[in-house]
Each structure stands twice: as structure tokens, then as C-alpha cells.
Amino acid sequence: MNTQNALMAVTRIFVLLVCFPVHECAHAWVADRLGDNTGRLKGRISLNPFRHLDFMGTVLIMLIGVGYAKPVPVNIRKFRHPKRDFALTAVAGPLSNLLMAVLFLVLIRVLYGMPSQPDSVRTAVTLLRYAAYINVSLAIFNLLPIPPLDGSRVLMAALPNDVYRQILGKERFIMAALLVAMMSLGRMGYSPVGFLTGNAFRFLYQLIVVSG
């Protein structure tokens, strides 16, 4: 394994142990604040990765760089404003990824400001850059308005209740089709998420690291 692949593997492990737990914990915490304690009762307001990791999602992210954690259980009937609060709960996860990406880029800016940069600092910068990029990717992927991704909750909040319930009942099949489509597009050398991530990451990197 060359150095770049080794750093990427370390970064993916970091995402599994830190970024996924923060993302899912954010969902559970916001849901709890809005009236649904289901996630809290299941122990999901926690940064313990073993409360959040999904076996297949873990395998996928280590093999192909795209994976997922166990979704936080949500009982929308417990929300005071079901559609709105479900949407806010959903957005909390991607927002946590964006905040982590910003934090990692700020750390890169700090490291670049050091008078000397030994190999350990350059390695840390590379890891932080990978971690920031993956967090931006997670945020963008989850904000896609496709059920059951988090972004769909905002779109679905505007739908009539009967249509809303029908889509909720088909989310498992939609997710399977989405993963197949993503892998197929990736094999053809085209990734819409990669395109959006690259542009968003370059914007944030320029804003925080280069111009900060």
C-alpha cells in the first residue's frame, strides 16, 4: 500500500469513528429537543461509534469510499410539528458534517501558519484535507432531495400527507436503487456527488485556508 492509499484508509477509519457518530448524534439530539425521545432512549445521543455503525455501511466505505451508519430511529408522531421538525432533525446531520469540514480547514490554516512544517505537520494537513473533503461529500450526498436522504425531508415537508406517507413506505427500495445508480455512474467515470463536492470543497478551501 502506497502512502496516499494508507492516508486515505486512515481517513476513512476516522470518518467511521468520528464523523458518522457526530452526524447521527446530531440527528438524535435535535429530534430529542423537538419532542421525539426515541433516539435518546435507544442510546443514540452518543459519540460512541459502536452505537451508530452499520456493518454493511462500514464495509462499503472502506472498500469504495461510500457508506452509511445506522439511521437514528424517529417517531414523527412525537414531534409538535411533525413535518417541520422531521425536516429540522434531518438537516442537523449534514450541517454537522459541514461544521466539521470547516473546523478541519481552520486547523489546516493554523498548521500552515506555523513557522516550520516537519513531516508530521504535512501528514496532519493531508489527513485533515481528506477528512474535510469526505465531510463535504457526506453533507452534499445527504442533502440530495432523494428519499430517504436527509435533504428529501425538507422537500417532502411541502407534500400532501397522503403522498408523504406513501414515499416514507418506499424509502428502503429507493435507497437501494440510489446506491446501485451511484456505483454504476462511478464505474462509468461520472459522479454528480463528486462534481458537487469538488466545487464546494474548493470554495471552502479558498475561503478558509487560502484567503483566511
Active site residues: 24
| Euclidean distance between the first and the last CA atom of the chain, given in angstroms as a whole number | 35
According to DSSP, the residues that pair with 136 across neighbouring strands are: none
- The total of other beta-carbon atoms located within 10 Å of residue 97's CB is 27
User: Residues 6 or more apart from 176 whose CB is under 8 A from it?
Assistant: none
How far apart are alpha carbons 72 and 86 in whole angstroms? 12
Start-end of H helices in the chain: 3-14, 20-33, 38-41, 55-64, 82-112, 119-143, 150-156, 161-169, 171-187, 192-205
Give the Cα separation of 109 and 98 in Å (integer).
Answer: 17
